[in-house]
A and B are shown apart, each in its own frame.
Chain A
């Protein structure tokens, strides 16, 4: 096939037009939450914070109480990303996933501001076995 102007134009367009898709960035909320998890000795974590939800999956530090780590993580997320509607978290113990815990941010903030009791807050948390 002869390489003419038309083909040249196609090549140029292909080379110039950037690949589409959403802009990927190192989200500040992800980074802040990650830093605060490290402060609690929680490392190897995945943090994904959007307006819809904040997901945190992490390796439970050795000898730490798993349920206590849930509360610490929820406290951290509520302080950094209160606009996120929901928190989904999951600890890994010895590389194995444990329960998936979900809490609505409104409930978490009520708890943070002493508008609900501990027992009321616990009852609103969803704990899904895996």
Chain B
């Protein structure tokens, strides 16, 4: 009875952010987004923006523009210096209709996208990693920083040029229709600029250099001229151009003032930030905070920022005098005295605290940050650390302890902790499976749900229009968590950490299932599997809902059958798929395992069934040999528990071995002993486990 409500499971797993489809596409001249960007490039050339057009085209041809749904209403994103630009698909027409260059609304969309690309390209080409981390750390790790102001200045300059030139075209138009076209475009472009300025007004992007009131008046003036033209009059546009030029002059003055000592301000901010991080291990080791020290920091950015999310590693050399630091990435000559693992929320807490060292001490005591004198090894994907499984090479996780006297870091590495004054090691604190924001609200979940309801089949949407749902989750730490969700008119109206509602439905499952579905190549099918094996349980609390569950169950079975038929591949067969947003081929190997070959990536996940998460990883050589003689090998042949490039990162456990060169002299016993002793050292380092 409690096995069916596909809608609820799908919806709620969506809701938890676990299966929001990561539909990532690299724009190329052959696909829709690439063709549209090429149209934009041609359009910019026709407007004499040659340098901008050439540069955007270079990014397009180098596969450096990626289309991906972005969080928080961002238009674009650049995560790494010299890295690609991510663009939200909302920048393009939906449905996918090609832009019409003579249609003002399409023209404004193109110029809007151009301004986004120029902004992100500026980040990619001008902003070093450390400056971005540092200036972000000085603020909110979310955009309110000097780098953003600089990038947005580029956006605004471009929009200003476009507005000015469009107004000039309106002024010089030979016909009323032509004048109307350019005025309408100018009106829309000023509208785009006003929208972007709103971000400044909300203090998202630093000081307001562009006065929204004056720009609003300018827009009113253009709208007025447009109306007059449509009423048969022939208004002069010259006065609007003069107003715009005066507006621009004021902007330039403010910008010049702001950027006068920009580099010095950023340097001071990043030095201050680096020094505070470097002093954390000094403090916990009872050393003077002016002691020179070298620290390697593993920073996990946990909130979406202009650096994206995920782990970053950098090295801080604190010189000990004032706040003087040198920062670099991955320098092999750098020998850290301490390793600090920390996530961005904790960085902000320390940075903003009036008593930063006490704050750091408290975070350390609670296990939120880790200081060690040995390197963390096998750094993990954020999305699998904490799921209670050693599924991506974690050294530890909830339920998997570290060797004696080591503790599990927030990156799921076993590290030697600094002991607290009482000498006791601190265990990881239990974490709720769904984390609220700092104000105790769940807006991220509510927004994720409401932004994605369109992805739920209409058949199921109708079944879940108005419900009060009690959610019970068995956490991997052994605790049980309850939440309440209220859906009205198909929208998630509230989500809270209590059961202060009279529920019409109850859904219960284990926290691990969220991660399992999240890691699945085909989340819908994984949800089906979870329903079928009872991992997700549903309890209708009204007679009407019993009927709904029957209906939903019926639909779920049909979808499930379709999905199964579509995705699991027979031995020897292969199909083209999208695996976690990447182009890939799914191959059935002789043992009925599903092998994913991801285009242009060496990673080859192995799954028992396409709806499940990877049981391990393999390589071309192994699968080639297995295909040739499947009877010779066991079904576990050539399957390893980590992505294969991770093994190289593990070499810190043992010395790297140089095999004797071809034709050179060697002692067989010496080479054998090297292998034997290296193996023994390795096993000791990982805790002696053999099988």
Contacts and interface: CB of A to CB of B under 8 A. Distances in A.
Contact of B691 (A28, A36, A44, A57): A28
B647 interface: yes
Nearest to A48: B637
Given A39-B651, A92-B621, A34 B678 contact: no
Interface string B623-659: 0011000001111111111101001101100111111
Contact of B659 (A19, A31, A68): A68
Interface stretch (B87-95, B189-197, B348-356, B662-670): B662-670
A95 to B, nearest CB: 9
A72 B637 contact: no
Contact of A65 (B592, B655, B666, B672): B666
Given A16-B532, A46-B625, A46-B626, A39 B636 contact: no
Contacts of B592: 19, 21
Nearest to B679: A79
B635 A22 contact: yes
Interface string A37-53: 01111111111101000
Interface stretch (B97-105, B326-334, B682-690): B682-690
A64 B661 contact: yes
B666 A68 contact: yes
Chain B interface size, under 10 / 10 to 19 / 20 to 34 / 35 or more: 35 or more
Measured as residues with beta carbon below 8 angstroms from the partner, the interface class of chain A is: 35 or more
Nearest to A74: B672
Contacts of B672: 71-72, 74-75, 111-112
Contacts of B664: 65
Interface in A20-38: 21-22, 24-32, 34-36, 38
Given A55-B632, A74-B675, A24 B615 contact: yes
Contacts of A30: 636-640
Given A73-B675, A75-B675, A78-B676, A28 B659 contact: no
Nearest to B607: A24
B441 interface: no
A103 to B, nearest CB: 11
Contacts of A105: none
Contacts of B177: none
Given A36-B678, A39-B651, A122-B668, A25 B638 contact: no
B633 A24 contact: no
Contacts of A26: 606, 615-617, 636, 639-641
A44 B602 CA distance: 10
B657 A63 contact: no
A39 B602 CA distance: 18
A32 B671 contact: no
B619 A38 contact: no
A48 B657 contact: no
A39 B668 contact: no
Given A28-B689, A48-B636, A64-B662, A112 B676 contact: yes
Contacts of B622: 45-46
Nearest to B686: A32
A27 B639 contact: yes
B456 interface: no
Contacts of A44: 619-621
A41 B659 contact: yes
B220 interface: no
Given A25-B636, A26-B640, A67 B668 contact: yes
B680 interface: yes
Contacts of B656: 39-41
B203 interface: no
Contacts of A65: 659-664, 666
A59 to B, nearest CB: 7
B489 interface: no
A46 B622 CA distance: 5
A36 to B, nearest CB: 5
A127 interface: no
A81 B680 CA distance: 11
A76 B638 contact: no
A35 B636 contact: no
Nearest to A84: B691
Contact of B671 (A45, A47, A61, A68): A68
B690 A80 contact: yes
Q: Which 8 A-B pairs have the closest CB atoms?
A: A75-B675, A79-B679, A26-B616, A48-B637, A75-B676, A26-B641, A46-B622, A71-B672
Given A24-B608, A26-B606, A76-B678, 11 more contacts: A19-B592, A26-B636, A28-B690, A29-B690, A34-B640, A36-B679, A46-B626, A65-B664, A72-B671, A78-B675, A111-B672
18 contacts: A16-B532, A21-B592, A25-B639, A26-B617, A26-B640, A27-B636, A29-B690, A30-B640, A34-B644, A36-B678, A40-B656, A46-B621, A48-B633, A48-B637, A75-B674, A75-B675, A78-B675, A79-B682
